[in-house]
Amino acid sequence: MNEPLVLGIETSCDETAVGIVRGRTLLANVISSSVEEHARFGGVVPEIASRAHLEAMQPTIQKAIKDAGVKLTDLDAIAVTAGPGLVGALLVGVGSAAGLAIGLDKPIYAVNHLAAHISVDYLTHTEPIDPTIALLVSGGHSSLLQIDDITSSITKLGQTIDDAAGEAFDKIARIMKLGFPGGPAIDASARLGNVDAINFPRGLTTSNDWNTRPFDFSFSGLKTAVARYLESVPDYVQADVAASFQEAIVDVLLLKSLVACKESGIDSLVIAGGVAANSRLRALAELRCAKANVRLRIPTPGLCTDNGAMVASLGALLVAAGRSPSPVAFDADSSMPVATISLA
């Protein structure tokens, strides 16, 4: 089945998202976000997210079907994020997908949220990406991966040992009173600032770090350094702090990604996840990858944040590759390892 019609459901955090693809063609991508309900708390509240998913699930599915111009009975398979993520939120999506699969008598694919972020690139580029190095950066994850086959072989090279990049953005934005989510707010402010104004630390980049954990990330020290700077310099220039802080994160992400490309002999880099929408990361990645002769691929900004299209895309790739579907009864796994691409 080369062009399977797949509906994907994503509920790992605060977006209730449903996407529909036919092979590598995107037909619908509907997102109902509860971010405004979390904003006053400065972060995602799991119980609020779960309740919002319950309320939004049915109308989101209905709109996706309408936008795609198909019927539920036309579908070849259902795909759903089984993990990682907030377990209560995941269960809403898993239960909804299982109900659809049983009611429609269609196979179900319980897929990995992280692998789905990478697979969405197939909807915007025609040439194959495997093998590739993948930098996955979001509010909950910062990982370097080697993708030999997006449907069967993902190797984790490194990950954050504390805060994820997106989490660091949120925390510093909160201290600077820029609002939630912090990533877009920091990005907007940084465009008016000087990236060289303040020399913030680059975590895990000493010679010893390169010898012991070359592809791991750490942003907690950077977060502390920025917080102390803000406390000690009450008349700080907001745009300069934002730009310098953002530059420290982007610099390390790209430095380690390109070293991974060089050491693996793989001349391809995919950057995915919510932080991949960051304008400075995208611009600097283009410059550095061109200089290093590394082919760069980044999904369009709208497909970087959590969405149903990425889940449907991975589901369609699994179907086309002949991978076994998941059992109808499976558990959501809030800490699903990235090497587990789907539950078969």
- Tell whether 77 and 154 lie within a shared domain: no
Give percent of the chain with pLDDT exceeding 70: 97
Predicted TM-score (pTM) of the model is: 0.94
- pLDDT at 125 (0 to 100): 84
Cα–Cα distance, 339 to 266 (Å, whole number): 19
- The structure tokens listed for 76 are 């070849």
Residue 41 lies in a domain: yes
Q: Are the CB atoms for 306 and 32 separated by under 8 Å?
A: no
- Tell whether 203 and 97 lie within a shared domain: no
- Tell whether 278 and 134 lie within a shared domain: yes
- pLDDT at 170 (0 to 100): 92
Residue 261 lies in a domain: yes
Total count of domains within the chain:
2
- Tell whether 139 and 102 lie within a shared domain: no
Residue 109 lies in a domain: yes
- The structure tokens listed for 137 are 């950066």
Asked whether the predicted pLDDT for residue 180 surpasses 90, the reply is no
- Tell whether 179 and 273 lie within a shared domain: yes
- Tell whether 42 and 81 lie within a shared domain: yes
- Tell whether 260 and 282 lie within a shared domain: yes
Residue 283 lies in a domain: yes
Q: Are the CB atoms for 27 and 20 separated by under 8 Å?
A: yes
- Tell whether 262 and 236 lie within a shared domain: yes
- Tell whether 172 and 279 lie within a shared domain: yes
Element (H, E) at 23: none
Q: List the CATH number of the domain containing 244.
A: 3.30.420.40
- Tell whether 316 and 216 lie within a shared domain: no
Average pLDDT over residues 135-155: 94
- Tell whether 261 and 320 lie within a shared domain: no
- Tell whether 283 and 140 lie within a shared domain: yes
- The structure tokens listed for 92 are 């809403």
Residue 125 lies in a domain: no
Span of 41-50, 148-157, 324-333 with lowest mean pLDDT: 41-50
**pLDDT-based confidence at 35, cuts 50/70/90?**
low
- pLDDT at 99 (0 to 100): 97
| Full residue range of the structural domain in which residue 72 is found | 5-120+304-343
Instruction: Give 69's contacts (C-beta < 8 A, 6+ positions apart).
Output: 27
How many other CB atoms are there within 10 angstroms of residue 72's CB atom?
14
Average pLDDT over residues 152-164: 95
Residue 184 lies in a domain: yes
